[in-house]
Amino acid sequence: MRLVDLKTTFLGEVDVPAAHRDAINAARRTTFHSLAPLAALHSLLNALVLTFAFWGHAGMPLVFVWCYTSAVLIFIRMREARRPAGQLDPKVEDGRIVRYTLLSGALWSGMIAVLIASGGAEHALLLGIFTAVMLCVGALLHSSFPIASLGYSLMITAGAGLGMMLGGHSWSFNALLLLAAGVIALQRFAAASHVSDIRRRLATAAMQDAKDTAALLLQDFEAHSSDWVWRIDAHGRLGSPSQRFVDASGLSCHELEGGSFLALFVPESLHHLQELLRHRRPFRDEALRVRIGSREVWWSLSGQPAADGGWRGVCSDITRSRDAEARIAYVTEYDALTDLPNRAVLVRQLEIAEEAGRASDESFALFVIDLDNFKALNDTQGHPVGDAYLRVVAGRLRDCVGQTAFLARLGGDEFAVLHRDMRADEAGGVAELIVDALLAPVTLNGKEILAGGSVGVAMAPENGSDPAILMKNAELALYRAKAQGRGCARFFEPGMEENARVRADLETDLRTALASEAMDVYFQPLVNTRTRKVSGYETLLRWNRPGHGLVSPAVFISCAEETGIIVPLGEWVIRKAIEEAAQWRDDVTVAVNLSAAQMHNPSLVATVVGALAASQLDPSRLEIEIVESVLMDETEHNIRTLHALRQLGVKIALDDFGTGYSSLSYLRAFPFDKIKIDQRFVRDIDTSVENQAIVRAVISLARDLGMRVTAEGVENEQQAAILAGLGCTEVQGFLYSRPIPASEVEKVEADKRPAPSILKLRRKA
């Protein structure tokens, strides 16, 4: 065995860190001194026992002196132990302790040697017990100083051995072996006890260091963090709160300490917290509501049960994050503009209604509402006015459908209403109420706005209960309502789905035709009534749809307007018409019709400028024709666009005059270059006195305003003669020619010669 191991085994030497060395040595000395009274009492008891046992023995005086000298020595040690710490150098004090111990051992050793050597057989048992007790007590009392314990034990053993040899006892050798084995065992015990004591003290010191470090970290944590520590006992009473806890609770430290922790929480959170505490299992990040005065906040609580039956944990104020989460949830589920639920919430409500319907055979109605002409309002009046109008619409719909219905905004200008437990006849009444409410004018910024809305209705379970199917069917009904004139309500019918499919196919083919320029531009001549020669051509569009033949312009133009294809399609027609007109005689004009959607297109003027520049066509040879409904959509914006075109030198004509509601007001609003009389007034002009009077009045009005007049739909010579006699400038109709393709116009106009007579042109057509 190595020397280091022997020292550890019998002397209990332990490598103590320098930081703890002084404290542990001081603790050893304190332990040693604390046992001094017990050592003194033991010495007195030994002295008394030996005094009575050897009272008549020849060595009694020596026994008496020796015993009481040892006791006095211990009492001296006790007095020195009462000295205040720090009066003696630690090393000097350690040396004294070892010397006192060895001196005490020497005294008892000598006395034991004398008594065993001179004692009789009657004293052998007593002296054996006495020696064993001295060894055991010495090992225990001096274990904090193993070297002193070892010296003390060796001296006692030596004294006993010397006495046995001097006494000539036959059992001396065997007894000495037993003593040696006992000393080894006792010293091993004393060393182990010493090592255990030092390690325990080191562990205690380390734990204290950890506690101190944790306390410092905790102080730093609470000083620089928004979190704080909470502690309660087994009865739910709060321990000493930190300043952060005091600030967060709004109470004083005196009010918090010893008060009920649970009393801070609102009832529903209190119940949840009580359940968590009752199960005595750790919990983490539980969001609980707390009442602070007159307001409520959110705390995030983490806790762990303590050994004393209480709890401790960490808490933080999460009110801001909860408010942010609430705002995010609101944004994801509600429309910020109108405060109405969005499409996702509507779908969930439809799912709930579907489940209720399956359970109770309840029918319900879904209304999908789309505002009419809202895009024009937004484009011309601006988004702030459009937003204000949407808020007004939302308010009207709330008032209209009542509190029992679920109202949502699907996006843009589209709304939806879900009515639970409603029959079809009741749904019809609600739909009409919605239409009437939206038809009422709205005044914003001093202007009266008339927009209106269309409604599509689907009934569940008749038209499907699945939310996706019901939404699709309601939108198909809405599409039918808008196709039939807008400002009305329609219920879903089975045939609508097939119509929608046909319409979708038409839209797909129309987009393909536009992309591949598979459409044809046709032109119908305009004839001057005075010269009886062609003065211009009106541009018309024809489409030979693959697999379907020629498609009526009323069909595909309507589809183009509803789907937005009309804008790129109209731009293509403008460029194509101007490109063709550039090949004609210089005194021949070309007219192009513009729809309301094209007028709303902000790039319209740029398209016209680009086409004129590319073809080098004189702007005065281009006529833009609009119908009265274009001006009805949004007068101010369209008037500005018309003025911009007029400044380019382009001529502006009012088409289908007399079929609208405010024709005369539009003549005052904009100085048109031409008025085109609708063919319904021309068709019977040769037989109807009323039609002649209307046409005469229009021509007279136009002449006074400096405008030219073109009559549409002329089909016979008598109509042409009447119109010429009334002073009509131009005529147009099947009498002269049907619309012809650009290739035929090119044959007539390519050589720049005077135009052929009307009759020749008619025969060609």
510 within domain boundaries:
no
Question: pLDDT tens across 673-713, in order?
Answer: 999 998 888 988 988 888 899 899 999 988 988 899 999 99
- How far apart are alpha carbons 543 and 616 in whole angstroms? 28
Give yes or no for a contact between 370 and 454, defined as CB atoms under 8 angstroms apart. yes
Within this chain, do residues 338 and 317 fall inside the same structural domain, yes or no? no
Q: Which residues pair with 295 in a beta bridge?
A: 292
Within this chain, do residues 298 and 428 fall inside the same structural domain, yes or no? no
Torsion of CA 88, 91, 92, 93, to 10 degrees: 70
431-437-441 Cα angle (round to 5): 145
**Domain of 410: which CATH number?**
3.30.70.270
Give yes or no for a contact between 398 and 407, defined as CB atoms under 8 angstroms apart. yes
Burial of 49 (0-12, 13-18, 19+ CB in 10 A): middle
Within this chain, do residues 236 and 317 fall inside the same structural domain, yes or no? yes
100 within domain boundaries:
yes
Three-state DSSP at 650 gives coil
Burial of 631 (0-12, 13-18, 19+ CB in 10 A): buried
Spatial strand order of the sheet with 406-411 comes to: 406-411, 414-419, 364-371, 453-460, 489-491
508 within domain boundaries:
no
Q: Which residues contact 71 (CB under 8 A, 6 or more apart)?
A: 40, 43, 44, 47
Chain position carrying tokens 């009805």? 632
What the block records as the tokens of 705 is 């305003």
- How far apart are alpha carbons 288 and 275 in whole angstroms? 13
The reported pLDDT for the residue numbered 210 is 60
Peptide bond connecting 461 to the previous residue in cis, omega within 30 degrees of 0? yes
Query: CA of 433: how far to CAs of 376, 397, 407, 474, 476, in Å?
Result: 24, 9, 15, 17, 20
Could you give the angle at which helices 60-81 and 18-34 cross, rounded to 10 degrees? 140
Supply φ then ψ for residue 178, to 5 degrees.
Answer: -65, -40
Of the residues 325, 353, 388, which one is the last residue of a structural domain?
325
The reported pLDDT for the residue numbered 16 is 67
Range(s) of the domain holding residue 78: 3-205
Within this chain, do residues 575 and 714 fall inside the same structural domain, yes or no? yes
The DSSP-derived string for 44-88 is HHHHHHHHHHTTTSTTHHHHHHHHHHHHHHHHHHHHHHTSPTTSS
The reported pLDDT for the residue numbered 590 is 95
58-80 core/surface letters (b: 16 or more CB in 10 A; e: else): eeeebbeebbeebbebbbebeeb
The reported pLDDT for the residue numbered 317 is 85
- How far apart are alpha carbons 593 and 122 in whole angstroms? 147
**Domain of 251: which CATH number?**
3.30.450.20
581 within domain boundaries:
yes
Of the residues 140, 171, 205, which one is the last residue of a structural domain?
205
Question: Do strands 730-731 and 520-528 pair parallel, antiparallel, or not at all (unpaired)?
Answer: antiparallel
Within this chain, do residues 271 and 394 fall inside the same structural domain, yes or no? no
What the block records as the tokens of 598 is 């094209």
Three-state DSSP at 386 gives helix
Question: Do strands 406-411 and 364-371 pair parallel, antiparallel, or not at all (unpaired)?
Answer: unpaired
Q: Which residues contact 68 (CB under 8 A, 6 or more apart)?
A: 47
Query: CA of 558: how far to CAs of 262, 503, 561, in Å?
Result: 70, 11, 5
What the block records as the tokens of 401 is 């459908």
The reported pLDDT for the residue numbered 474 is 93
The DSSP-derived string for 676-745 is EE-HHHHTTTTT-HHHHHHHHHHHHHHHHHT-EEEE----SHHHHHHHHHHT-SEE-STTT---EEHHHH
- How far apart are alpha carbons 349 and 157 in whole angstroms? 97
395 within domain boundaries:
yes
Within this chain, do residues 196 and 232 fall inside the same structural domain, yes or no? no
How does DSSP classify residue 621? Answer: G
Within this chain, do residues 266 and 400 fall inside the same structural domain, yes or no? no
pTM score over 0.85: no
The reported pLDDT for the residue numbered 757 is 41
Within this chain, do residues 153 and 194 fall inside the same structural domain, yes or no? yes
Chain position carrying tokens 């055979």? 361
Query: 3-state SS of 398-421?
Result: HHHHCCCCEEEEEECCEEEEEECC
Within this chain, do residues 410 and 338 fall inside the same structural domain, yes or no? yes
**Domain of 635: which CATH number?**
3.20.20.450
Within this chain, do residues 551 and 676 fall inside the same structural domain, yes or no? yes
pLDDT less than 50: residues of the chain:
1, 3-4, 662, 752-765
507 within domain boundaries:
no
Question: Do strands 364-371 and 414-419 pair parallel, antiparallel, or not at all (unpaired)?
Answer: antiparallel
End-to-end CA distance of the chain: 130
What the block records as the tokens of 670 is 């904009």
What the block records as the tokens of 220 is 């730093």
Within this chain, do residues 392 and 301 fall inside the same structural domain, yes or no? no
Q: How far is CA 629 from the centre of its chain?
A: 47
Of the residues 297, 325, 353, which one is the last residue of a structural domain?
325
199 within domain boundaries:
yes
Three-state DSSP at 92 gives helix
641 within domain boundaries:
yes
Number of structural domains (the chain) is 4
- How far apart are alpha carbons 586 and 584 in whole angstroms? 6
How does DSSP classify residue 123? Answer: G
Within this chain, do residues 489 and 598 fall inside the same structural domain, yes or no? no
Three-state DSSP at 252 gives coil
HSE of 42 in the Cβ direction (CA atoms, 13 Å)?
17
